[in-house]
Amino acid sequence: MTAPWSLTIAEALTALEHGSLSAVELTRALLQRIEAVDPGIRAYLAVDGDGALAQAAAADARRRGGQARPLEGIPLGIKDVISTRGVTTTCGSRLLANYTPVYDATVITRLRDAGAIMLGKLNCDEFAMGSSTEHSAFAVTRNPWNPERVPGGSSGGSAAAVAAGLALGTLGTDTGGSIRQPAALCGVTGLKPTYGRVSRYGLVAFASSLDQIGPMAWTARDCGLLLAAIAGHDPHDGTSATVATADYAAALVGDVRGLRIGVPREFFVAGMQPAVEAAVRTAIEVLRDAGATVSEVSLPHSRYALPVYYLIAPAEASANLARYDGVRFGVRGAEPGYWAALEATRGTGFGAEVRRRIMLGTYALSAGYYDAYYRRAQQVRTLIRRDYERVFADVDVLAAPTTPSVAFRIGEHQHDPLAMYLEDVCTLPANLAGIPGLVVPCGQHDGLPIGLQLLGRPFDEATLLRVGDAYQRVTDWHAHRPALA
């Protein structure tokens, strides 16, 4: 019999509906799996076992009463930058080590209303700033495919939890690739929705014009089920779009005939591992063989995405993180006097990467440099967005690599921030343009996963899910599981 923790969300829903598995049994199996496996992975920062089992019992009762909701009884993990009432939300930072929200983020409310079960909170780079989940103040999360490798970041705990069978699905956040990059490195499926598609109310902000919450799971179908639960306008979020959501399940028609796929030449960057490029190009040919038309396209301003991102994102971070002064939020330094306490709070409470980005952002916003750096970066961001608008007049979807390499070794880039930043070179442009992106597993190299990145028009997640689902119907990369003891 298939272990309950290895089921996809769709498979688990079928088993729950048919009565061959109960929500309590499923949740207990996952909690036992977490206890047995997570000490070697460190995906979780907090596990709410009693709360999860109570939710599971309530889900079983609803199902027996004929009141099952779309995700009734499905256990999920939540990235620890999303507010959860009564469960700590640390953002992977010492500053918020003891912070317990008194309210749920909108996405959590919507998942609860859909019947999902919350297992606990997942590790991440501090305040979501990083590409490896090595920058958490509490633990380094390890890649389930090889514990000497990183799982990616900043949603590394979310990706590792799915890959290791510690949750059937998770929520992550994507500011510059933080859902898509770890999904690729851990061999799972991850969806970054269009900016504004999913409410950010209750998300602890990193860069407010870039952050977006999205799902991670084994399949495109599962990501569609989770997106359907969390998407939609929220009056609590001023950046939430009023665009109607789609019927994501109906979009999974099983083929890509008639779709036009563009392959941006700029995404095959110098230094990309040959095995990564080969796997991605092979996946594109699978889509061509399935009936899609494929053509090369150009996004000329993508070459500027890395410097533009590392001006805009740190600038927004420096403003957002100014609230952590030890007075209103976070642990307070013990030194006498406001300024001494503030310096101690921020100097010891923030990790090295967060401090680095605050300094970069503060410099870019400072008098005499605002026009030269931040304003100019915003102007180039407009050019990047226009590139996508032009290309999407001729194609429906873009297909590209997600990362230039497979998962790197823990510690490999710790003393070279630029090398770490380059890991996101293929994912940053989508955040600057505000478009959706989906990553599906498409190969392996040296036993480590490779991901195909699909990018779509704004608010057209349905087409991305259609392509990802069609690809997964004729390949089995998404069915591979790491060999964990």
Tell me what pLDDT residue 329 has.
66
Q: Looking at the domain assignment, is residue 261 inside a domain?
A: no
- Residue at 210: amino acid letter: L
In angstroms, the CA 426 to CA 404 distance is: 8
Question: Which residue in 303, 233, 293 sits closest to 263, CA to CA?
Answer: 293
The token pair that represents 141 in the structure block: 């999360």
Residues with pLDDT less than 50, the chain: none
Kindly state the helix (H) or strand (E) to which residue 389 belongs, with its residue range: helix 376-391
77 domain-assigned: yes
Tokens linked to 28 = 């207990």
Q: Residue 292 and residue 280: Cα distance in Å, rounded?
A: 15
Residues 184, 451 contacting (CB under 8 angstroms): yes
Residue among 135, 155, 154, 157 at smallest CA distance from 144: 157
Domain assignment of residue 432, yes or no:
no
Q: Is 345 helix (H, G, I), strand (E, B) or coil?
A: helix
Burial class of residue 88 in the structure, from the number of CB atoms within 10 Å of its CB (0-12 exposed, 13-18 middle, 19+ buried): middle
Its domain, for residue 161, covers: 4-256+469-479
Cα of 98 vs its chain's centroid, Å: 24
Structure tokens at 193: 């929705």
pLDDT of residue 367: 84
Nearest one of 243, 238, 270, 301 to 432, comparing CA atoms: 301
Return the pLDDT at 212. 98
Q: Is residue 86 part of a domain?
A: yes
* Helices 352-365 and 305-320, packing angle to 10 deg: 100
Alpha-carbon distance values, 345 to 288, 300, 329, 358, 373 (Å): 55, 43, 10, 14, 29
Pairing relationship of beta strands 213-217 and 169-173 according to DSSP bridges: antiparallel
Instruction: Render pLDDT for 359-380 as a digit per residue (tens, 0 to 9).
Output: 999 999 988 889 999 999 999 9
What does the angle CA 228 – CA 229 – CA 234 come to, to the nearest 5 degrees?
A: 100
Residue 92 lies in a domain: yes
Whole-angstrom Cα distance, residue 34 to residue 20?
Answer: 22
Q: Which residues contact 337 (CB under 8 A, 6 or more apart)?
A: none
Quote the CA–CA distance of 279 and 395 in Å, as a whole number.
22
- Using an 8 Å Cβ cutoff, are 34 and 121 in contact? no
Is residue 24 assigned to a domain?
A: yes
CB of 298 closer than 8 Å to CB of 400: no
- Please check whether residue 383 lies inside any domain of the structure: no
Please list the residues that pair with 216 across neighbouring strands: 170, 190
User: How high is the pLDDT of residue 257?
Assistant: 97
The C-alpha atoms of residue 443 and residue 459 are separated, in whole angstroms, by 28
Residues 6+ apart with CB under 8 A from 296: 262, 263, 264, 265
Residue 113 lies in a domain: yes
Alpha helical stretches, state H, 231-375: 274-289, 305-320, 338-349, 352-365
Between helix 220-230 and helix 461-474 the angle, nearest 10°, is 160
Q: Which residue has the tokens 């063989």?
A: 289
- Catalytically active residues are 79, 154, 178
Number of domains in the chain: 1
**DSSP-derived secondary structure for 200-246:** -TTBPPSSTTT--EEEEESSHHHHHHHHHHHBS--TT-TT---PPPP
Residues 6 or more apart whose CB falls under 8 angstroms from that of 45 comprise 80, 88, 90, 92, 120, 121, 122, 123, 136, 138, 139, 157
Q: Are 293 and 259 in contact (CB under 8 A)?
A: yes
By CB atoms closer than 10 A (0-12, 13-18, 19+), residue 304 is: middle
Query: CA 122 to CA 117: how far, in whole Å?
Result: 14
* pLDDT reported for residue 334: 63
Q: Phi/psi of residue 305, each to 5°?
A: -60, -40
| CATH label of the domain that carries residue 142 | 3.90.1300.10
